[in-house]
Structure 1
């Protein structure tokens, strides 16, 4: 995908365009976050949440796309490493919460026949 920037007549125009891009990025991060939280439902343990092989795959794909699109690979890698680490923390909390809801409550007397 090749993109062409709109010519700007001032620094205010540049900043306005960047602000629009930032808003789109935040919207995309929100959408990505919803999928990350959804992924927690399908993982059996914290090792699957961390998924180092998947992290490498995601970063490698992003770097390949950076080279194709003309993005700065150093920036893409730094952003992706930070983003993925933050999302892993969110997914880990989500996974823990889901596991806590599924675990039997140790404080109950389930299965006990009480007189």
Structure 2
């Protein structure tokens, strides 16, 4: 099934329709995560000192914004909060690696 053949969730009639939609969304999510990590790498390149890599206020802000977006989209904000906690922590770890390599 191609992207233009993806069926909207409300119109799915078969598990094949559902799985194709989920698979396409997963490809898009991973692509966006890769793009997000390139921004993390840019941050590692431009931050002046290693102690600026971890920014707890920024972390809290990112998670709060993600949870607000979840609520606005009718999604469980606890799920999104948990996912973003992991995403941000892994992003910080990656940024430390890139910072230390420069």
Q: TM-score, normalised by structure 1?
A: 0.77
Count of residues in Structure 1 that have an aligned counterpart in Structure 2: 95
SS in 2 for 1:50: coil
Aligned equivalent of 1:83, options 79, 87, 99? 87
Aligned equivalent of 2:70, options 66, 71, 78? 66
Please list every run of 5 or more consecutive structure 2 residues that lacks an aligned counterpart in the other structure. Answer: 1-7
Structure number with the bigger relative contact order (C-alpha 8 A, sep ≥ 6) is: 1
Q: CA deviation at 1:61?
A: 0.5
Name the one with the larger helix percent.
Answer: 2
Q: Distance in 1 between matches of 2:20 and 2:42?
A: 34
Q: Could you list the runs of 4 or more consecutive aligned residues of structure 1 that deviate by over 6 angstroms after TM superposition?
A: none
Q: Distance in 2 between matches of 1:26 and 1:13?
A: 20
Higher-Rg structure is 1
Aligned equivalent of 1:92, options 61, 76, 96? 96
Q: Distance in 2 between matches of 1:18 and 1:72?
A: 18
Q: Distance in 2 between matches of 1:13 and 1:97?
A: 45
Give the stretch that moved more between structures: 17-26 or 63-72: 63-72
Please list every run of 5 or more consecutive structure 1 residues that lacks an aligned counterpart in the other structure. Answer: 99-115
Please report the RMSD computed on the Cα atoms of aligned residues, expressed in angstroms.
Answer: 1.3
Aligned equivalent of 1:28, options 26, 32, 55? 32
